[in-house]
Amino acid sequence: MKKNEYVVALVLCLIGASMFLLSDGIPTMVAVERSSIVNSRFFPKLMSGLLVFFGLILAFQRFLGGASEKSLEKASDAAQDAEGRDSDLKRSRLIRLLSAGGLMLLYVIGFSYLGFLVSSILFVLAFLFILGVRRWYVLASVSLVVPVAIYLLFRVFLKVMLPSGGIL
């Protein structure tokens, strides 16, 4: 196992533990009793606990899976040699990474102008396209269903206000 994978597992555990401890400072809402398990601290504690848990799983998985990792590396090297286009692959990955970063920046900016629903539909559509999805029915259905489901969950069921946008 590579040393940097252990570093990633350690960083995940440290971030999760810090978040867990810092979530005690989140004020509870007046409508929810302090003794209630589900309050404003519940989800941050849950997510930080899961971060620590998965960091530990990553460390143990890498520790126990050293022999199989070598065979995976050999198979990966053979696949790269067979393709013979390692530099093109790196370039296309870099272009996708930069495109995704720019798209996220546009999403944040578009949030205030277009609102949650419209900007999320456009974001999911463009992100799926960047990831290589080209079937129109997959692009259309996923880019509509996911944002609408999130909108219904937060706006209708949980009664959370979402940005409506300035243009529309």
User: For the CA atoms of the chain, what is the radius of gyration?
Assistant: 21
Q: Position 77: which residue type?
A: D
Q: Position 49: which residue type?
A: G
CA distances from 49 to 14, 18, 29 (A): 11, 10, 22
Domain check: are 77 and 111 in the same one? Answer: no
Domain check: are 98 and 34 in the same one? Answer: no
DSSP state of 2: -
- The number of folded domains in the chain is 2
Q: What's residue 123's pLDDT?
A: 93
Domain check: are 26 and 45 in the same one? Answer: yes
- The whole domain housing 116 covers 85-168
Residue ending a domain, choose from 84, 105, 138:
84
Domain check: are 96 and 144 in the same one? Answer: yes
- Whether the Cβ atoms of residue 62 and residue 6 lie closer than 8 Å to each other: yes
- Greater confidence (10 vs 158) lies with 10
Q: What's residue 140's pLDDT?
A: 93
- Tell me the two tokens of residue 6: 């252990």
Domain check: are 77 and 100 in the same one? Answer: no
Residue ending a domain, choose from 84, 111, 137:
84
Domain check: are 67 and 24 in the same one? Answer: yes
Distance CA 68, CA 34 (A): 48
37 has pLDDT over 60: yes
Average pLDDT in the 102-109 region? 90
- Whether the Cβ atoms of residue 117 and residue 151 lie closer than 8 Å to each other: yes
- Across all residues in the chain, what is the average pLDDT? 80
Domain check: are 167 and 94 in the same one? Answer: yes
Domain check: are 103 and 60 in the same one? Answer: no
- Whether the Cβ atoms of residue 13 and residue 21 lie closer than 8 Å to each other: no
Domain check: are 80 and 92 in the same one? Answer: no
Domain check: are 1 and 80 in the same one? Answer: yes
67 has pLDDT over 50: no
Domain check: are 80 and 1 in the same one? Answer: yes
- Greater confidence (155 vs 78) lies with 155
